[in-house]
Amino acid sequence: MANLRLMVILVTVLIYLLPSCIKSLEIILPKSLNLTLLNDTSTISAASQDFGNITTVKPGGVLCPSSPAEISRLLSYAANGERKFQVAARGQGHSLKGQASVLDGVIINMTCLSGVVVSDDMKYADVAGGALWVDVLKKTAEKGASPVSWTDYLHVSVGGTLSNAGIGGEVFRNGPQISNVLELDVITGKGEMLTCSPQLNSELFDGVLGGLGQFGIITRARIVLNHAPKRAKWIRMLYSDFTAFTKDQERLISMANDTGVDYLEGQLFMSNGVVDTSFFPPADQSKVADLVKSHGIIYVLQVAKYYDDATLPIINQVIDKLTKTLSYLPGFISMHDVTYFDFLNRVKAEEDKLRSLGLWDVPHPWLNLFVPKSQILDFHQGVVKDILLKQNSTSGLTLLYPTNRNKWDNRMSAMITDEEDVVYVIGLLQSATPQNVPEVESVNEKIIRVCKDSGIKIKQYLMHYTRKEDWVEHFGTKWSDFSRRKDLFDPKKLLSPGQDIF
Ligand code: FAD
């Protein structure tokens, strides 16, 4: 009798649960919302993947909004009463581990909202959250203006990079992209459409910049513009001595605008990896390859100096003066003279090359770190030499360059190590095969462990933690503001659940 009763209870529970399990994959919106969700196989399959190619997370539907008001209606409905589904804005899906994903919820395809409007005085551009930076560059450069801070790769969305920080070789001079925003239109997790700036709704403004999509969806950003130069002298110099390399990098980022460089990064050529010598003239390429073989590691200083008609007569003198003071290996310098657009869009050529070889859509177990200047020598020994160089092989790119922390605004959500004025950006941008992802990830974990054990105060960038305590540690003293802002702007915790924070 007791068994029979148990059976009846079980069957009843199943009858109630089963349809809701099935339903959770299909989101049915009331007609009154007047919104269409796409859920055909190819849309869902594309929205389930990202650049990292490590996770697959299926959404229930994808909204291609025709206006910010549609996003607001969707979020108001989702937030109303019981949490019905979660929502993630997706720019280009260039995240590494499902940060722009939402299981069974709604992806908002932000690229449906694009558009760039340059102000009459050319001091700023109003840019849609889904616009690609390459399109911002095209539109502003047409008018002789340009944003001042760039990521290495421009085929990423404005909303996506502003949700992280947006860093690259101009940060030392102009700050990250989040430091060059005057105003935002944001739709909060409650569906409210708010304009915010340092003066208006500043709590939301600071929260959203570097806020990993947690507080609202950026539908418009007002981006600072400056005069667009016409061309760039793009230079690479090789070093065999790490101390000389970092000394020169640090001196260059401390120089004033007119005497110094406009862009600075650095890269490592390692004998156990692919060494791309193509920047050097064909006659020198084998010498560069031999240099890497004999030294194990060669450090590549990459700088650019922008110029246009007014500065054309003196640009070569300026470059000579600059390079004369640097301690690169004599003879190992190569310079290209390119348009400003081609310089900024340089990674697209790499993408096209990798795509043609079938090497773009592969797993990317990347690790991005900030390391304080005083610990970069320890990092070099403990990580670069003792871990990376000892791998049988590495595949991908290793970036290493310093930047100035005073160009960051500590009120914003983005985190950078707050130890010192000069902080190194490290990008271990590995490509993998589906089979060796665990191996590369375990090397990444080892690097983090070694840094922690030896007291190197790293901060991760574009990270993905799954444990709450890691997020609390990541945000440190900013955690209480971060979680308070979540309660304020997205109390139902609807937004960007793929970040795995709340
Ligand atoms: P997505 O992956 O679509 O989204 C990222 C996060 O932001 C998600 O949580 C998403 O929900 C949220 N989000 C997206 N749009 C919005 C919005 N409008 N409002 C609110 N939240 C939103 N980064 C650098 O800083 N510097 C670099 O030099 C750099 N180089 C890169 C090179 C390559 C080849 C690649 C693939 C990436 C690079 N990145 C770099 C990383 C890049 O900035 C981030 O991956 C960024 O998130 C990509 O933008 P996305 O449009 O693809 O964002």
Backbone torsion region of residue 230, taken as left when φ is above 0, otherwise alpha when ψ lies between -120 and 50, otherwise beta: alpha
**Does the pLDDT of residue 14 top 60, yes or no?**
no
Q: Catalytic site residue 170?
A: no
Inter-residue contact 178 to 412 (CB < 8 Å) = yes
Ligand 1 atom showing the smallest separation from residue 167 Cα: 25
Per-residue pLDDT for 373 more than 50? yes
* Gap from CA of 113 to ligand 1 centroid (Å): 16
Confidence (pLDDT) at 17: 45
pLDDT of residue 16: 43
**364 in catalytic set:** no
Query: What pLDDT, in 10s, does the model give residues 376-408?
Result: 999 999 999 999 999 998 889 999 999 999 999
Beta bridge partners of 239: 299
Those residues with Cβ within 8 angstroms of residue 240's Cβ, 6 or more apart along the chain or in another chain: 291, 295, 298, 299, 329
* pLDDT digits 0-9 by tens, 64-90: 999 999 999 999 999 997 768 999 999
CA of 414 to the centre of ligand 1 (A): 13
Residue 107's nearest CA partner among 17, 170, 46, 150 is: 46
pLDDT tens, 252-290? 999 988 889 999 999 999 999 999 999 999 999 999 999
Task: Respond yes or no: is residue 265 known to be catalytic.
Answer: yes
Tokens of 290: 């031999």
Ligand 1 neighbours by CB, cut-off 6 Å: 50-51, 88-95, 99-100, 110, 129, 151-153, 156-157, 159-161, 163-168, 212-213, 217-218, 347, 462, 496, 499
Pocket test for ligand 1, best of 51, 90, 353, 370 (most atoms within 8 A of CB): 90
Protein residue with its CA nearest to atom 7 in ligand 1:
160
Cα 120 to middle of ligand 1, angstroms: 29
Q: What is the mean pLDDT of residues 455-464?
A: 96
Residue 5 has pLDDT above 80, yes or no: no
Q: Which atom of ligand 1 approaches the CA of 163 most closely?
A: 7
- Arithmetic mean of pLDDT, 302-313: 96
Give residue 417's pLDDT band: very low, low, confident or very high (50, 70, 90). Answer: confident
The CA-atom distances, in angstroms, between 31 and each of 3, 36, 37, 77, 80 are: 45, 9, 12, 12, 16
For residue 256, what pLDDT is reported?
Answer: 82
Q: What is the mean pLDDT of the chain?
A: 94
Q: Please, which pLDDT band fits residue 226 given cuts at 50, 70 and 90?
A: very high
Whether residue 196 contacts residue 186, with contact meaning beta carbons closer than 8 Å, is answered with yes
